[in-house]
Structure 1
Amino acid sequence: MLKYYCRNCFEIFSESMSELGKENWCIMEMVIRHYNQLTMCIEIVSNMSDCFYPNRVVEQQFVKIHQQYFSLCSNEEDLLDAPAGVVLVATLLPILLIPFIVYIVVWKSSLRD
């Protein structure tokens, strides 16, 4: 029964995505509103059907949606390597701070004696 009622949510999402155009399916800023509407619709339908949300049926439907619309999307451009200088500073700064902190602790403890 849940599958039947969720079909309306998926049809609305499919219409929105086709209006959006295939070239925009991987642009999160353009897709997120439609995706959120789909999520809310399915959550409402699940609650009206006295089903827990999320559940196995809903998860299977979302997997189908992701396979259909987002399987070709890649995040490679979002995962560029940090510049070498940033990596070097982020690595060396904690290493250089450790001896300084140890020195301060030893110095403070010697003042108390």
Structure 2
Amino acid sequence: MDTNEIVLLKLFFVGILVNAWMMRGVSGAETVEATTPRPRRACNESRLQWDVEVCGEHFKKDMALIHPQYWCNLTYFISEYHLFTLCTETKSHDVDCYWPNPLVEGYIIRIHKLFFSNCTMEEVVWVDPPDDTLVILILIPIFLTLAMIALVVWCSKRSDVLA
């Protein structure tokens, strides 16, 4: 036998062994004890209310360190806000509640009203362009339409020359 054939034969047997070894883990021949999911406890809303209040107090203390004129600029308080939301999420999971839930959302809305109620952007007032600009913007499509009509009529009269 040629050396290449021997190497190829060895690779073939190694491939079969690896395949058998991998399929053994997939097969149902071995008994694996099924783990039963942990029973979910009921959400303790009263404790969650207390814990969320604690998160809010920490956030209020952090926001007191920031000048109120910067409360509407997210770059000044993004880390404090992140810690606040992370705290509410962690506390929700600790008492077996999903997050966000209506209780936490209500508290976050109260925090927003307390700190960010004056952060609305000014309403954009739409103003018409000056009359000169408006006239030009209206007349350009009208003249282009008339020019196209004139070109079509002119070409249709000269069809004998153009054909």
Length-normalised TM-score, structure 2: 0.46
Flag structure 2 segments of 5+ consecutive residues without an equivalent.
1-46, 130-163
Aligned to 1:70: 116
The one-character-per-residue Cα deviations of 1:13-47 (angstroms, maximum 9, x if unpaired) are 00010111211111111121111110000000000
- Larger RCO of the pair (alpha carbons < 8 Å, separation 6+): 1
User: How many residues are aligned here?
Assistant: 82
From 48, 52, 61, give the equivalent of 1:6.
Answer: 52
The one-character-per-residue Cα deviations of 1:73-103 (angstroms, maximum 9, x if unpaired) are 02339x798xx9xxxxxxxxxxxxxxxxxxx
Structure 1 outlier segments of 4+, above 6 Å: none
Specify the code of the residue in structure 2 equivalent to 1:33.
S
Give the alignment of 1:89-100 within 5 angstroms.
Answer: none
**RMSD of the alignment, in Å?**
2.1
Give the alignment of 1:1-113 within 5 angstroms.
Answer: 1-76=47-122
Specify the code of the residue in structure 2 equivalent to 1:75.
M
Aligned to 1:101: none
- Determine which structure has more spread, i.e. the larger CA radius of gyration: 2
Between Structure 1 and Structure 2, the one with more helix by share is 1
2:65 is paired with a residue whose SS is helix
Length-normalised TM-score, structure 1: 0.65
